[in-house]
A = this chain, B = another copy of it.
Amino acid sequence: MDRKRIGFMGLGIMGRAMAENVLQGGWPLTVYNRSRDKTVILAELGANVASTPKDLAQASDVVISMLTGPEAVYALLTGENGCARGLEAGKVFVNMSTVSPAYAREIASGLAPLGVTYLDAPVSGSKKPAEEGSLVILAGGPKETVEELTPLFLSMGKQVIHCGDVGQGSMAKMGINMLLGTMMEALGEMLSFGRAGGLSDDVLFEVLHASTLACGLFTLKEKMLREDYYPAQFPLKHMAKDLKYAVDTAYETGAAIPGAAAMQQLYTAAKAKDMGEMDFSAVAKVLLELSGSKSGC
């Protein structure tokens, strides 16, 4: 595509890094964020700053949102100064935040009468891949639009996977996050089991890394688990939310997900114990505490 004008709403941990990569990829960029101070760095790097979502949409061909939860998406899309007021036929709205497939389809239906194409394009990967531009983009929507935007996506990520129609990007994201949440909890369980059985953390992680279960996730989280310190790469409250979406979606499609449903309860419990802002790997603390480990909590 020739250099379309990009609008980017939502400059949190993920969004800011992604927006910077769009800018560095050479796209003309306008940004919007509810608390304006987060736009400063991007302005210094050359982005325009819009006062309202509507202004942002008017100044852009493609609007990207990277917000937390459906409520935030809804709030910026609708209303007097909402994004929808600035969108017109031929423009594309790309929601890169994680919502349920049902909600993705709902927004798409709402925008269709305006002639606006909706893509859901949640990402696999957290803070570091966002900064390094190595995210994986899970795109749902018309194939030709996904292909057209692929160069844009590749400024933020290393790979684009077209998952199917609108909502299917979100469906794939639910699936991978279910697995992520379960694997993280299972690692916490192995740690809790091993410590109670007298194994050292050195042995536990050596055994893990030498097995066919070795993966990027476990390498990434080892330090946090060993030091019992969990600065957020992917906040636990978001994992709790994503697993809840998975349970919601499974209820609709009729899939039985006994493991993920059990995990959701543990993340909910962790959130109730004020761990929502920690990294989601802090779910291990719940297991350690259930096992009576003093170092757990």
Contact A193 B247 (CB under 8 A): no
Docked Cα-Cα span, A217 to B194, in Å, equals 21
Interface size, A (range)? 35 or more
Contact B250 A268 (CB under 8 A): yes
Contact A183 B213 (CB under 8 A): yes
State whether the Cβ of A172 lies closer than 8 Å to any Cβ in chain B. yes
Output the residue of A124, A162, A216, A269 with the most chain B CB within 10 A: A269
Contact B199 A164 (CB under 8 A): yes
Query: How near does chain B come to A244, taking the closest CB pair, in angstroms?
Result: 5
**Among the listed B213, B240, B258, which residue makes an inter-chain contact with A179, where contact means beta carbons less than 8 Å apart?**
B213
Output the residue of A163, A171, A189, A273 with the most chain B CB within 10 A: A189
Whether A203 contacts B164 in the complex (CB less than 8 A), given A178-B190, A182-B259, A254-B196, comes out as yes
A residues 187-211 in Cβ contact with B at 8 Å: 187, 189-190, 192-200, 203-204, 206-208, 210-211
Contact B261 A256 (CB under 8 A): no
Docked Cα-Cα span, A214 to B218, in Å, equals 11
Contact A211 B273 (CB under 8 A): no
A residues 254-297 in Cβ contact with B at 8 Å: 254-266, 268-269, 271-274, 286-287, 290-292
Query: How near does chain B come to A140, taking the closest CB pair, in angstroms?
Result: 10
Extra contacts, 11 of them, besides A182-B186, A255-B268 (Cβ < 8 A), are A161-B203, A176-B208, A182-B182, A186-B259, A189-B257, A192-B256, A193-B250, A193-B253, A193-B260, A254-B272, A258-B290
User: What residues of chain A have their CB less than 8 Å away from a CB belonging to chain B?
Assistant: 101, 124-125, 136, 138, 159, 161-164, 168, 171-172, 174-176, 178-180, 182-183, 185-187, 189-190, 192-200, 203-204, 206-208, 210-217, 220, 240, 244, 246-251, 253-266, 268-269, 271-274, 286-287, 290-292
The 7 closest A-B pairs by CB, nearest first: A272-B292, A212-B216, A196-B255, A256-B290, A215-B215, A182-B186, A196-B253
12 A-B pairs with C-beta separation under 8 A? A136-B211, A164-B203, A171-B198, A176-B208, A179-B208, A183-B183, A213-B217, A251-B264, A256-B268, A258-B262, A259-B259, A272-B291
